[in-house]
Amino acid sequence: MTATLESVRALRTNRRRRSTRFAMVTGGLAAAVATLFAVTMMVGSFRLSAGEVITSVLHLADNPGVDFVVRELRLPTAVSGLAVGLALGASGTIFQQLLRNPLASPDFVGITSGAGLAAVTGIVVLQAGGLVITGFALGGAVVAATLMYVLAWRDGVTGYRFILIGIGVAVFFDGLTGYVLTRAQLFEARQAMHWLTGSVGQASGPELRLLLGALVVLLPLAVVLQRALRALELGDDTARALGSRTELSRAGLLATAVALIALAVGVAGPIIFVALVAGPIANRLLGPATGGIVPAALAGAALLLGADLVAEHLLPTPLPTGVVTGAVGAPYLLWLLATTNRQGTGG
Amino acid sequence: MTRLSAEKLTLGYDDRTVVADLDVTVLEGKVTAIVGANACGKSTLLRGLARLLRPREGTVYLDGRRMAELSTLDVAKVLGLLPQTPVAPGGITVADLVSRGRYPHQGWFRRWTDADDDAVARALDATGTAELIDRPLRQLSGGQRQRVWVAMALAQDTDLLLLDEPTTYLDINHQVELLRLLRKLNAESGRTIVIVMHDLNLACRYCDHIIAMADGSIVAEGAPVDVVTAELIEKVFGLACVVVSDPVAGTPIIVPA
C-alpha cells in the first residue's frame, strides 16, 4: 500500500502551516516581551528614551546618570520580571499538559502554597532573607509535589482527583502559613505579608542569578522533554503503546516544572495566576500548533512585565505585582470554572 | 509461526487477580477477536499482551523473545495498541494527532522525514480521514474520531495491532465500517490484528479466529463456525440462545432463545 501523492502534499502543507504559525506566534511574543522589557526601563520618575536605555544596557555609550538609573535601579527589576515570567509560564503549561486540565497550574495544586509556607516560616522563625528564602521555597515546593504524587498518583492520574487533592493541600498549607504569621513579631509579619503578595521589584542579586542560571539549563531541557510530553498528553496507555517510558518522562517533566516554579517563587514571592493563564493564552494564539512550552514561557514573561508596569506606573499608588495579576486572573478563573465543565474538557 | 504469545500468564490489579495461568497464541496474519462477558478479563489480557500491565507470573513472548527484556521503544516498533478510551489534548488537530503515531520511529533530535510523511499519509488514506487533517478532533463525529484514532495507531506502522473495544461507542453502520477497514488492512498488508469486542455476531462475521473467555481463562478458541455454539454462549454469557447461520456470509449468528 502506498500513500497517495495528494495526501502527502496536503499533510506537508498542513505541517508547514503549523510551523509557520508557531514561528510567527513565538516571534510575536518575543517581540512583545522585548518591548515591555525596554519600556519597563524607560518609565518612572525619571523618563528615558528607548535609545538611552538600549545604549546603556548594551554598554554602547557612557552617561553616568542614565547608567545609574538603568543598570542599578531598573535593569534588576526588568530582568526579574522577565525571568520570573518565563519560569511561571513554562512551569504552568507543563503542569496543565501533564495533568490534561487547564485548572492544573502549580498555584492551584498546592505547589506554590508549599513553597510559600516554607518561605514564610524561614522569614518569621529564622529572620532569613535572600538565597535562604529561595532554598526554603524550593524545599517546600518539592515536599508539596511529593505529597501530591503520593496522594493522587498511584495508578496514573485522573485530572479532577489531582486537582481536588491539590486544592485541599493548598488550603492546608495556607492555613499553616496563617498560623505561622500569627506567631510572628510585627516586623517579620509585615515582611512576610509583603513577600506573600509577590512582587518582581523585591528581587535581590543572588537569587535572581540562581533563577537565570536555572532557566538557561531548564528551559532547553523542557523543550527537549516536550517530545515526551506530546506522547504523555494522549494518556498513559497510548503513551506506553507508543514506546514512551511514562514514569521516567513524567518524573523528569514534573521535576523541571517544580524547580522552575520554586525558583520563581523564591525570587518574587508567590505571584498568582500568571502560571494559570500563560499556557491557555499561548495556545489560543497558536491554534492548531498548540502546546508549545517556549510560547507559553514568553506569554508568562509578557504578562508579568505588563502587570508590573501597570502595578508600578498606571495605578495612583504603586502596588505589588501580585495584586494586579490577581485582579486580572480571578475573573479568568471564574470564566474557566464556568465553561470547562460545559464543554466537557475539564478532565 | 507466531510472533505474539503468552505462557502461564497471571495478571491483576492491586490484590485482585483477573487472569490466571493462561496460555495464548496470537495467530500470525489473522484477525482475532477476544470475546466474553463484562469483567471476564479480556481487556486485561490485551493490556498484558501489550506490556501495559506487568505480569504477576508467566511470560509474554514477542518474536521469540521475552517482552520484559525488550525496550519499550523496540516493542512499539512492532506492536501497536489502541486503548479503550484514548484521550487527546483540547485543541489538537487530526494531522497533529495522527503524526504523533510516529513517536517510536523518531529519536530525541531526529527531524521529521519523508518516510514519516509517507506513513502518516498511508494511515490517513487507509482510514479515509485524509480530508479531515485540518479539523480539530473534538469537532468530529464519534465514527470519524474513532477512524482518526485507528489512523494514529496505523501511523505507528506496526505488524501487530491490538484494539481494545474500538466499536463500543459506534452505531451499527460505523461498527461495520471500522471492522471492514480492519479486514482490509489485514488483507492488504498482512497485519496481525487482535480486537476485544462485545458484539458476537460482528465478531463472527469479520474475524478469522475467536478467543472466548470466562472468569479469566480461555473457554474456547477457533474459527467462528467451529466454536460458536449455543452451549458455548450459555457457558460464557449465561444466555440461552439459538445459533443460526448468517444468510450473507454463512457465519454464526446468536439469537436469544
C-alpha cell belonging to residue A263: 525558583
CA dist B34 → B47, B151, B190, B224, B253 (Å): 12, 22, 19, 12, 17
Facing residue for B120 by CB, picked from A4, A11, A237: A11
pLDDT at A76 over 60: yes
Q: Is B58 helix (H, G, I), strand (E, B) or coil?
A: strand
CB-nearest to B104 from A1, A3, A242 is: A242
Instruction: Look at B103 and A1 and tell me if their CB atoms are within 8 Å.
Output: no
Which positions 15-74 of A are in contact with B (Cβ < 8 Å)?
A: 15, 18
- The string of pLDDT tens digits covering residues A198-221 is 888 766 778 888 899 999 999 999
B169 CB burial (10 A radius; 0-12, 13-18, 19+): middle
In chain A, what residues touch B125 (CB-CB under 8 Å)?
Answer: 1, 3-4, 7
User: Is residue B107 within 8 angstroms of chain A, CB to CB?
Assistant: no
Model confidence over A31-60: pLDDT tens digits? 999 999 999 999 887 888 888 888 888 888
Q: How far is B17 from chain A, CA to nearest CA, in Å?
A: 16
User: Which pLDDT belongs to residue A327?
Assistant: 84
Is the CB of residue A244 less than 8 Å away from at least one CB of chain B? Answer: yes
Chain B (153-172) residues lying within 8 Å, Cβ to Cβ, of chain A: 153, 156
* Helix (H/G/I), strand (E/B), else coil: A201: helix
For residue B70, give the C-alpha cell: 525488550
Judge: A237–B52 Cβ closer than 8 Å, yes or no.
Answer: yes
Band (pLDDT 50/70/90 cuts) for residue A345 is very low
Whether residue B81 contacts residue B156, with contact meaning beta carbons closer than 8 Å, is answered with no
| Residues sharing a CB contact under 8 Å with residue B96, sequence separation 6 or more, in sequence order | A18, A288, A290
Query: What are the C-alpha distances in Å from A132 to residues A143, A144, A175?
Result: 17, 18, 23
B111-137 per-position pLDDT tens digit: 788 889 999 999 999 888 999 999 999
Q: Which of A1, A12, A345 is the closest to B188 by Cβ?
A: A1
**CB interface of B with A, residues 33-52, below 8 Å:** 47, 50-52
Residues of A in contact with B70 (CB under 8 A): none
pLDDT at A302 over 90: yes
Band (pLDDT 50/70/90 cuts) for residue A340 is low
Smallest Cβ–Cβ distance between A238 and the set B83, B91, B130 belongs to B83
Cell of A228: 515526551
pLDDT tens sequence across B143-166: 899 999 999 999 999 999 999 999
State how far the alpha carbon of A307 is from the alpha carbons of A7, A263, A319, in Å. 46, 20, 10
Is the minimum CB–CB distance between B135 and chain A shorter than 8 Å?
Answer: no
User: How is residue B158 written as a grid cell?
Assistant: 506496526
CA distance B192 to B65: 18
Mean pLDDT of chain B: 91
Contact at CB, B89 and A290, closer than 8 angstroms: yes
Residue A11 near residue B120 (C-beta atoms within 8 A):
yes
The verdict on B113 touching A (C-beta cutoff 8 Å) is no
C-alpha cell at A184: 510572628
For residues B50 and B163, give the distance between their C-alpha atoms in angstroms, rounded to a whole number.
Answer: 10
Q: What is the pLDDT of residues B55-97, one digit of tens each?
A: 999 999 999 999 999 999 999 999 999 998 888 887 899 999 9
**ipTM entry:** 0.90
- Compare CB distances from B52 to A18, A241, A345 and report the shortest one's residue: A241
B150 touches chain A (CB under 8 A): no
Q: Coil, helix or strand for B11?
A: strand
Q: In whole angstroms, what is the distance from residue A293 CA to residue A283 CA?
A: 10
The maximal CA–CA distance of chain B, rounded, in angstroms, is 61
What is the CA A308 to chain-centroid distance, rounded?
15
Return the pLDDT at B67: 92
A106 touches A120 (CB < 8 A): no
Rg (CA), chain A: 21
Question: Cα dist. A339→A346, B20, B87, B141 in Å?
Answer: 9, 46, 19, 21
Q: How far apart are alpha carbons A180 and A120 in whole angstroms?
A: 8
- Determine how β-strand B57-62 pairs with β-strand B65-66: antiparallel
Q: Are A56 and A64 in contact (CB under 8 A)?
A: no
This prediction has a pTM of 0.90
Q: Is A6 on the interface with B (CB under 8 A)?
A: yes
What is the C-alpha radius of gyration for chain B, rounded to an integer number of angstroms?
Answer: 18
